[in-house]
Amino acid sequence: MVLGVTFDIVRVIEIGKLKKEVMYINDFLKRESIGKINIKSLDENITVSNKKLEIELETNLKKIITIATYIDNINKHDNLNNALSINTIKSNELSTISDYLELTKSKLNKSSEEIQDVEDSKNNNSNKFYKQLIESINIENYKKKITMNLQLIDNLEKILEFLKNNQDYKIEDNNMVFFKRNSYEELSKIINQMDMMSLNIFNYILTSDNDGPYINASNITLYEGIGVNLNSKITCVDEIDGNVPCVIEGSFDKNKIGSYPIKISATDKSGITSQKTIYVNIIEKAKLKYYTEIIRNYNTVIVYELDENKEYTKIAKVFPCSTGRNGKTPTGIFYTRKGSAWGPLLGGVWGQYYTVITGNILFHSVPYYTKSKDNLEWEEYNKLGSEASAGCVRLSVADAKWIFDNCPSGMKVKIYDGELPTGVSKPTAIKIDGNSSFRGWDPTDPDPNNPYHKFTSPTELE
């Protein structure tokens, strides 16, 4: 009986099986008095009595051993089946996987050519014992395994090409999640072929994209005569597809007071459309309740409100502030824009309740070392009423919050050097005791956790 690699183990080629075949060859040659092949290791020379036959046998048997070893290594380490696993996709660039598949295909094609060389050698050799010897090695099993691996690589390359050219998927936990779109049909055919071959690739889920894009847009209020580029104020983002185009319908007349509807729509790759309507409100400047002046050389903020004649004559608030050192707070007339309850500041610090005056010049609280209400730069707080900032207008938390809560975007702010209005004195701020255990808190912060709230008299605050 020929000890070849039988069909029931086509999927696993073991070097041990090949060694048994070589043992059979030894016995076969001995019986036929041709000579003996001595193989103590895979690299050791083969010797027979006929020199030409010896060389041909040695060459072709070593080819078979090399081919079987390579096929066995592919199968043993399961490299091809794992080429497109979730872990390899996460850890490798797709181009790296592609390079591995190309290299493997090249080696398999070379193995196929070498098997053909062995078969050609058998057909061209007149020695019947030599022919029987080569025929005793079950080369067909190696050929079938090479063909199967080449088919697998072909399918893996198709999937890889799909992943490179399509973004209709995402990785969640240990699954590739594909969305029910036209592009999935192409991949589905390939995956079905893989399943029929009982070959493993990544775990995958087919799902539907049920949510449309999020339209990030809100109502806009502008002074009469001031325009805005709507494209710069509106973005449309889909959870799956990322940024998608916004379609904006409608317009407004910046010179005519009124409320103008603007319709916005966005469609994702699944064909799901979201819609939203916002309004551009053009208003008269005089209809804003408050107007603010910052008298820079006095480090004082004065907020005026409309009187019965719609003139800014009534003083609503007077705040001490810290303007920029060496005149870094610009003078002029500006219009505010709403900020946020917390915001990052120059130097890696944080401020509460900021309102944009112009560019990077803001109203905000005295800075905090971190985004934590108990980590105030208390020494800077004690500078309120004098120049101290890099250009912004610093206020106590209570005063910054009052502007944040009561003064909408578009409030007019005038910054200048001059005298305080008649009857107005330069305001002062509470000082923080550097030895206090809660010096990291702004005394005016309305937060209920503020330890200053337990004090009831100015004497206790000092």
Whole-model pTM: value is 0.42
* 129 and 75 together in one domain: yes
Residues 91 and 15 in one domain: yes
Q: What is the CATH number of the domain that holds 228?
A: 2.60.40.10
Q: What is the average per-residue pLDDT within 254-279? A: 91
Helix (H) or strand (E) holding 131: helix 128-135
The answer on 234 and 194 residing in a single domain is no
pLDDT tens per residue, range 99-136: 888 988 998 898 888 888 888 887 887 766 667 667 76
State the residue range of the domain holding 363.
287-461
User: What confidence tens digit (pLDDT) does each residue in 23-46 have?
Assistant: 655 565 555 444 444 444 333 434
- Segment 371-399 shows an average pLDDT of 96
- What local confidence, expressed as pLDDT, does residue 316 receive? 96
* Last residue within a domain, chosen from 234, 266, 283: 283
> Span 420-440, mean pLDDT?
93
The reply to whether 336 and 421 lie within a common domain is yes
DSSP 346-374: TTTEEEEEEEEEETTEEEEESPBSSSSTT
Q: Are residues 291 and 278 in the same domain?
A: no
Say yes or no: 266 and 292 in one domain: no
Q: Residue type at 408?
A: P
Q: Are residues 143 and 227 in the same domain?
A: no
User: What single DSSP character describes residue 308?
Assistant: T
| pLDDT score of 199 more than 90 | no
pLDDT at residue 432, rounded to an integer: 94
CATH number reported for the structural domain that contains residue 332 in this entry: 2.40.440.10
Element at 192 (helix H, strand E): helix 182-196
* Domain's final residue, options 227, 248, 283: 283
Q: Domain end: 207, 225, 256, which one?
A: 207
Q: How many other CB atoms are there within 10 angstroms of residue 455's CB atom?
A: 12
Average pLDDT over the chain, rounded to an integer: 80
Task: Report d(CA 141, CA 138) in Å as an integer.
Answer: 6
Distance CA 264, CA 41 (A): 76
What pLDDT does residue 242 have? Answer: 81
| Structural domains of the chain, count | 3
Write the pLDDT tens digit of every residue in 314-373. Answer: 999 999 999 999 999 999 989 899 999 999 999 999 999 999 999 999 999 999 999 999
Residue 427 confidence (pLDDT): 96
pLDDT at 130: 67
Same domain flag for 230 and 262: yes
Residues 231 and 332 in one domain: no
